[in-house]
Structure 1
Amino acid sequence: KYQNNIIFGIGTSIDDTNSTEYVLTIGAGNLGLDKPEYYMNESKTTMAYRQDMFDSASALSNDTSTIKQDVNDVYKLEKELAKCYGTTDEQQQRPKARIRTTVGQLRQLLHASFDFTNYLTSAYASANVTLMDSDIVIVEDIDYLYCVSSIIEQVPPRTLQNYAIGRFMMQLNDNLPKQFRSIKENLNHAVGVTTTERARAVNCGRFVNKYMPFAVTKLYIKKHFDDNARKQVFEMVANIKKKIINILGDSTWMDSISKNKTIEKVLAIDVQIGYPDYLVSDNVTQLEMQYADYVFDSSFINNIFKILQIKAKEEFQLLRKHVDRKAWDDLPPATVNAFYSPLKNQIIIPVGILQKPFYDKDAPRYLNSGGIGVVIGHEITHAFVGRGLHFDKDGNRIPLWTHETIKAFIERKKCIVDQYSSFTVPNLNINANGDKTQNEDIADNIGLRAAFYAYQEFIQANPNADKRLKDLSKYSPTQMFFINYAHIWSAKMTDASARDRVLSSDHSLEPFRVNGPTSNFVEFDRACNCKPGQGNSRVNKCPA
């Protein structure tokens, strides 16, 4: 009802065997401390987490006599639930038991005391969607569902209710009064997250952009964005696509079947740049329809509840719609990020990332190529690296490559995995996890090369297009390409944040995202007059 995945996660997603339709999904929810590893041993983090529960409950209740025992019972429950997830590494290693069934067969399939059929039916009924026995259900991780069901059937109702309400309040924390936000700050400090409270205007802006992203984007592009810039980025995408196709065409380790399918898939990628087209129109009918239910009163928390209900309702109602493969979906355009969707074979480059240092329509092409160009190449690469490898050009779960090509790929990528695993995190004396980050690392390596080759082709066709920058004229255009690539990944983080990201993130830390791809690229050596083994130049370069 409020889009909270507590214990179980349910929703609507594109059917991966028929990407024109939607299906129901049910699987694991999330944990209060996010990662199951936190619950394995007592630490300052787990103690601070229980203190956070106690302080939050005390702030909400006049009777605090039972809170300490309630907190211990709730934490004991969540600690048991965490065992159902396995560690983050175990989740990576073991394939989830993913089963396709129907609403009518779900009860028979699961044989669990918890009534998942009734749970799904009730949830969708809250959005006026009546489930039918024939509706397809994807059970994402049946082992998790069995495990959790066996736990919650033994838990007293009071503990279960306290857990659900506590987690619900925890997710509302950012929108609660300062008293509650201060309690959360204590937990953040305990886990090594240092934050300063943003200005109220910034928080309000972020909130509105989260829940009314297209209205915010319409205002943003009207004031800050030149629509001609989209044309330039579309052109860059086309050129980078072409270079990735050349890289694929030149490969000697792929068989012809895999190579041809991959090239067809890259050619078929749907490209969304900036924002949906209707946002530049003076006609606001579509926006009015999108936000027709956004009728609010003077109570901020009641308005929060209403928005969460609207968002949950929108997701449940997708079930009775057909997939629009050219639609933008609900990703906020005013966000600094980029996306690839294997189920739609689509890349999205939001308007939020089309600003410095990634992009500036008036900047020399070498800066834009080393910025947004590499990001574009990275996202296109995901069409055949990572999850994209398991889907065809139409977004259906059909393997893209033959067994022989996959075997050759596994052998070749060992170099990247070993290289990134040898990177050491400063101050922490721990190594990066190249196995965990391999798909993103490979996308970085290919993205850098494709963007560079596309820039070379552009400058050959337009030899006088790029001028050197004042005060940076000692650097050549190709050197500036690599300098801006390093610039986009400039970052500062605490040791605790770095450790957390090494343990949990699929992306390498920023220094490794710069040093890895450049060290493997002979054009970087040429631009910087490096010899293999000198500085950041790698002797045995890993193939992309």
Structure 2
Amino acid sequence: MRLRELSKLFHMDWVKYFNTYFSKAGFSGDFTEDSVVIVETLKYFRLFDFAVTDNAVNYAKWQLLVKELSFANAVDDFDWDIFRKLRYPKSSKLGASDNLPCVELVEQSMPLAIARPFVEEFVTTNLIDTVNETANQIEKAFVQRLMEKDWLDQPTKDQCAEKVNAITRQIAYPDFIKIDSKLDKFYEKLDISIRSNFFEIGAAIRNFQIQQMVSSYSKPTDKTQWLDAPTEVNAYYSPQFNQFVFLAGILRPPFIAATWPPFLLYGAFGAVIGHELTHGFDDQGQQFDKNGNRVKWWTDNSIRQFQNRTQCFVDQYDQYSLLDVKINGELTLGENIADNGGVHTAYHAYKNVMNGTKAIKYKGLSEDQLFFVSFAQLYCSLFTDAALEQSTKTDPHSPGPIRVLGTLVNSEEFTEAFQCSKGSKMYPSDDRCELW
């Protein structure tokens, strides 16, 4: 909406606000009443009273302070105590080190600088080649399976295949961080003095981050930008960019190693790639076309069939609980679809790569069985009761053990590999949820 409309709805001079914000960051926003902004949380703004009262002013000050808590020594012990109780069980040695908050703080503050020594030691050309080749096989397998879906009509299948072929990738880290001059150039506006105290350093970093953010205003979207720290153990799919991102932190065991045989590689990292690819076709990703535009690009019949099948996953996961904490099938729908599609696709790709090669047993387990063991190991979990309860209310991912259970009971290949008897925990019935 235009700032004129925004100011009428929420009694505040938004033109002055944005111009002041940009000016403080060293940029001219040139905002007028006709400037257009996206209001993502309209309901929140309507419920919030912007009248200048003591409560409103105190709330605004608190929001500002919260962002700087990590740099305020006075609350450091309090903050770390909450962090430890939520994240680490009493029996865990992981919470014994006081270095962890410092490491995370540096990573969040200067992610590309801290990534430099990490990627130089752990990320090899051979490893990146392995990621690319595995991704190629996963995309090929997804399209093969896609063309076999009897619930999709041909025009929709063709559009989906085009979207898969249009996916771009970011792997490990941006290349420029290994070039001294370019890394120095990136951080040249970060003003930190050796005489600065801890809070002043935090303020400088915050200002630098704001400058980076506002500098992109009114410019074309840069789909090559890196939005997360390369050292994070994470991978994700961006529906707006139609892009995979596999950060350097996840390119380690138990996710991947360049020397692994196919049954381990595809069971673990193949399932991760398949998971992210499937996000392009889950309940959210399905709404974006190959160019990242939110438009209607499926036929009406295919959309109806899709919605009918997604309900199966909601009902399935609603029945699960872990340590007496109930799973929310609606909240976790997108991730559950991605987990299921990821394993199905990875198994198909693994079989393509094996191409009829004679199977060999390892320590009494077949290659097919080890494929699923490799997948399940990704989600060995350790969490506190508080963290579990919080995650089931806020995290779109199901807890680790449920991610394994929910996915494998839907896999006919798993049932065959382990010869599960019908009616058992891992083969409760023939009524399996299936989408991708």
Please give the TM-score of this superposition, normalised by the length of structure 2. Answer: 0.91
The residue number in structure 2 matching 1:362 is 259
Q: Does 1:166 align with 2:62?
A: yes
Give the 3-state SS of the residue equivalent to 1:252 in structure 2.
coil
**Which residue of 1 is the match for residue 379 of structure 2?**
489
Q: Deviation of residue 389 (structure 1)?
A: 1.7
Contact persistence 2:11–2:50 (CA under 8 A): no
Q: Partner of 1:542 in structure 2? A: 433
SS at match of 2:183: helix
Q: Distance in 2 between matches of 1:294 and 1:467?
A: 56
Q: CA deviation at 1:257?
A: 2.6
Q: Counterpart amino acid of 2:120?
A: K
Q: Distance in 2 between matches of 1:185 and 1:416?
A: 37
CA offsets, 1:103-136, max 9 Å, x none?
A: 4x4446x433222332222222223132344543
Per-residue CA deviations over 1:5-47 (Å, capped at 9, x if unaligned) read: xxxxxxxxxxxxxxxxxxxxxxxxxxxxxxxxxxxxxxxxxxx
1:290 maps to 186
Q: 1:262 to 1:135 in 2, by over 3 A?
A: farther
Among 209, 214, 217, the residue aligned to 1:316 = 214
2:401 is the alignment partner of 1:511: yes
Taking the aligned partners of 2:313 and 2:227, their CA distance within structure 1 comes to 34
Residue 332 of structure 1: how far off its partner (Å) = 0.9
For 2:72, which of 171, 176, 190 is the aligned residue? 176
TM-superposed CA distance for 1:295, in Å, is 3.0
1:3-82 correspondence runs (5 A): none
Q: How far did 1:413 drift?
A: 1.8
1:145 to 45, 68, 85: 45
Distance 1:279 1:192 in 2: 31
Consecutive unaligned residues in structure 2, runs of 5 or more: none
In the TM superposition, residue 194 of structure 1 has moved relative to its aligned partner by 5.8
Structure 1 residue 394 and structure 2 residue 284: aligned? no
Q: Is the 8 A contact 1:490 1:510 kept in 2?
A: yes
Deviation string for 1:468-517 (max 9, x for gaps)?
6xxx5211111111111111000011222211111121111111100111
User: Counterpart in 2 of 1:15?
Assistant: none
For the Cα contact (< 8 Å) 1:213–1:332, is it kept in 2? yes
Quick check: 1:371 aligned with 2:300?
Answer: no
CA contact (8 A) 2:239 2:292 kept: yes
Match of 2:347 in 1: 452
Residue number among 108, 133, 147 corresponding to 1:249 in the alignment: 147
Question: 1:126, 1:313 within 8 Å by CA — same for their partners in 2?
Answer: no
The residue aligned with 1:478 is 368
Alignment deviations for residues 243-266 of structure 1 (CA, whole Å, 9 cap, x no partner)? 111221111112223222111111
Aligned residue for 2:67, secondary structure, equals helix
Give 1:350's match in structure 2, choosing from 221, 239, 247.
Answer: 247
- Superposed CA RMSD in Å reads 2.4
Give the secondary structure class of the aligned counterpart of 2:124. coil
- Post-superposition Cα deviations, 1:271-291, rounded to whole Å, max 9, x if no partner, equal 1111223345xx322211111
What whole-Å deviation, never above 9, does each CA across 1:74-105 have from its counterpart, x for those lacking one? xxxxxxxxxxxxxxxxxxxxxxxxxxx334x4
CA distance in 1, matches of 2:252, 2:89: 27
State how far apart, in whole Å, the 1-side matches of 2:270 and 2:89 are: 33
Any idea what the Cα deviations from partners look like across 1:417-475, whole Å, max 9, x if unmatched? 1111111222x2x42111111111011101001011111111127x37x976xxx5211
Where structure 1 has 5 or more consecutive residues not aligned to the other structure, the ranges are: 1-100
Counterpart of 2:40 in structure 1: which amino acid?
A: E
2:138 is paired with a residue whose SS is helix
**Partner Cα distance (1:502, 1:226) in 2:** 37
Q: Cα 1:529–1:266, aligned 2, differ >3 Å: closer, same or farther?
A: same
Contact 2:18–2:29 (Cα < 8 Å) also in 1: no
**Structure 2 letter corresponding to 1:257:** P
2:88–2:95 Cα contact (<8 Å) kept: no
Alpha-carbon distance between aligned partners in 1 of 2:253 and 2:427, rounded to the nearest angstrom: 28
> Structure 2 vs 1, CA of residues 402 and 243 (structure 1 numbering), >3 Å: closer, same or farther?
same
Distance 2:6 2:244 in 1: 38
After superposition, the C-alpha distances for 1:313-346 in whole angstroms (9 at most, x for unaligned) are 1111111432222x14231111101111111111
- Cα 1:477–1:437 change in 2 (3 A) is same
How far, CA to CA, are the matches of 1:492 and 1:513 in structure 2? 14
Distance 1:271 1:322, change over 3 A: same
- For the residue of structure 2 that corresponds to 1:216, the secondary structure is helix
Give the alignment of 1:218-229 within 5 angstroms. 218-229=116-127
In the alignment, is residue 529 of structure 1 matched against residue 412 of structure 2?
A: no
Alignment partner of 1:499 is 2:398: no
Report what 1:111 is aligned to.
9
| Distance in 1 of aligned mates of 2:210 and 2:284 | 26
1:185: how far off?
5.1
Q: Which of the numbers 306, 309, 316 marks the counterpart of 1:412?
A: 309
Residues 193-342 of structure 1 aligned to structure 2 (within 5 Å): 199-280=97-178, 283-297=179-193, 298=195, 299-325=197-223, 327-342=224-239
In structure 2, give the amino acid aligned to 1:173. Answer: L
CA contact (8 A) 1:272 1:328 kept: no
Residues in 2 aligned to 1:382 and 1:213: alpha-carbon distance in whole angstroms: 26
Match of 2:30 among 121, 131, 144: 131
Aligned-residue sequence identity (percent) comes to 28
Deviations 1:335-365 (A, max 9, x none): 1011111111111011110101011112222
Q: CA deviation at 1:166?
A: 3.1
Shift of 1:186: 5.8
Does structure 2 retain, via aligned residues, the 8 Å contact 1:424–1:431?
A: yes
> Structure 1's 193 and 275: CA in aligned 2 closer, same or farther, altered over 3 A?
closer
Q: Which amino acid aligns with 1:543?
A: E
State whether residues 15 and 31 of structure 2, in contact with CA within 8 Å, keep that contact through their aligned partners in structure 1.
Answer: no
One-letter amino acid matched to 2:182: Q
Letter in 1 for 2:301: E
Label 1:194 to 1:175 Cα distance change in 2 as closer, same or farther (>3 A): farther
Query: Any conservation in 2 of the 1:209–1:332 contact (CA below 8 Å)?
Result: yes
3-state DSSP class of the match of 1:271? strand
Q: Out of 313-322 and 115-124, give the one that drifted further.
A: 115-124
Q: Check 1:413–1:117 CA distance in 2 against 1; reply closer, same or farther (3 A cut).
A: same
Q: Is contact 1:376–1:447 with CA below 8 Å preserved after alignment?
A: yes
**Cα gap change, 1:266/1:189 in structure 2, threshold over 3 Å: closer, same or farther?**
closer
For residues 354-407 of structure 1, give each alpha carbon's deviation from its aligned partner in whole angstroms, at most 9, with x where no partner exists.
Answer: 101011112222112111111110111111213222211111121232332221
Q: Per-residue deviation at 1:189?
A: 8.0
For the Cα contact (< 8 Å) 1:389–1:399, is it kept in 2? Answer: no
